Amino acid sequence: MLEVRNLVKAFGGVRATDDVSMTFPSGSLTAIIGPNGAGKSTFFNQLSGALRPDSGQILLDGQDLVGLSIGEIVRRGVGRAFQVASIFPSLTVEETMLAAVSAHHRHAMALAGRFPLPSTRAHAEHCIALVGLADKRAMLAANLSHGDQKLLDIALALVLEPRVLLLDEPTAGMGPEERWRVIEKVRELWETQKITVIFIEHDMDIVFRIAPSIRVLSYGRVLAEGTPQEIRTNPAVIEAYLGTDHEVAA
Ligand code: ADP
Ligand code: MG
């Protein structure tokens, strides 16, 4: 279980997260929504260790992650998908994954003097298959569709076998069809791998149809939490989004 308590992070006078407390049960799928500037990315940056909170606790199975290095937080099981696949455009999907897995293994154990290690290749192939890119393993990362590049980013995060996977707007910049393809794959990963998945998403259609549990941030504070139905009809949420009494995305 991931339990965040009273997280505060200010930039100058702006409290980007202002006493945020949230609990994410193991194996849950949660969407975080909120207007631009609500503090969603700042929240994630604290969970992943990229930003140190001013105060508060981030307890993973009871152990506080605050103050640990990014590497240590990753080792404890909090993974995050970055836009990395496109940094190596001239590598194929398979080469990208082998490089990532080898780097991980080099770090984790002494080099066995062979490259790639059989277990390296197997693990790379496993992660490629998890995101559905097996057919595209020989393609250059640069030639993948935007959605497949995002899935490769996610596969890279899976190399480290996270217990908690953070995805900051995984469908950003995609057309409607590709959004659904990517988010369905995320849901499938969640279902089959029993990972705790937390994703930030601004497409309400996706949020309401995919996430059993939703948290709403506004001005750095938790405005609401609940099921899609509870959020859709929550007056404070409706006001934050629309400033009217219409249902969200009605
Ligand atoms: P969201 O992801 O919900 O759009 P952010 O977490 O990116 O929101 O930003 C929340 C607030 O914190 C905004 O007012 C933003 O301008 C501010 N902010 C975020 N990161 C920084 C930073 N590194 N330095 C200064 N202000 C920041
Ligand atoms: Mg953001």
pLDDT, block means (10 residues), the chain with 250 residues? 98 97 98 95 97 98 96 93 77 92 70 60 94 97 94 94 96 94 97 96 93 96 96 91 54
Residue 212: count of CB within 10 angstroms of its CB: 11
Q: Is 13 close to ligand 1, i.e. is its CB under 6 Å away?
A: no
- Between the CA of 106 and the centroid of ligand 2 the distance, in Å, is 33
Q: Answer yes or no: are the C-beta atoms of 152 and 146 closer than 8 Å.
A: no
Measured distance CA(134)–CA(151) in Å, rounded: 11
For the record, the structure tokens of 31 come out as 């969407």
Per DSSP, the three-state class of 200 is strand
Distances (CA, A) of 131 to 11, 27, 89, 137, 149: 36, 18, 19, 11, 11
Atom of ligand 1 nearest to the CA of 45: 6
Please report the pLDDT score of residue 116 as a whole number: 58
Long-range contacts, 187-193 (Cβ 8 Å, 24+): 187/29, 189/130, 189/131, 189/154, 189/158, 189/165, 190/29, 193/130, 193/158
28 lines ligand 1 (CB under 6 A): no
Given ligand 1 and candidates 8, 15, 32, 42, which is best to mutate, with the most ligand atoms within 8 Å of its CB?
A: 42
State if residue 80 touches ligand 1 by the CB under 6 angstroms criterion. Answer: no
Is residue 41 lining ligand 1, measured as CB closer than 6 Å?
A: yes
Residue whose CA lies nearest to ligand 1 atom number 19: 42
- Output the six-digit token pair for 172: 């950003």
Residue 89's pLDDT is what? Answer: 83
State whether residue 15 is helix, strand or coil: strand
At residue 245, the pLDDT reads 47
Q: Near ion ligand 2, which residues have CB within 5 Å? A: 40-41
**pTM of the entire structure?**
0.92
Q: Which of 7, 14, 241 to mutate to test the pocket of ligand 1 (most atoms within 8 A of CB)?
A: 14
What pLDDT was estimated at residue 108?
61
Task: Identify the residue whose C-alpha is closest to ligand 1 atom 24.
Answer: 11
> Can you give 143-160 as a three-state secondary structure string?
HCCHHHHHHHHHHHHHCC
- Yes or no: say if 116 and 172 are a contact pair by the CB < 8 Å rule: no
User: What pLDDT sits at residue 100?
Assistant: 87
189 Cβ contact list (under 8 Å, min separation 6): 130, 131, 154, 158, 165, 195, 197
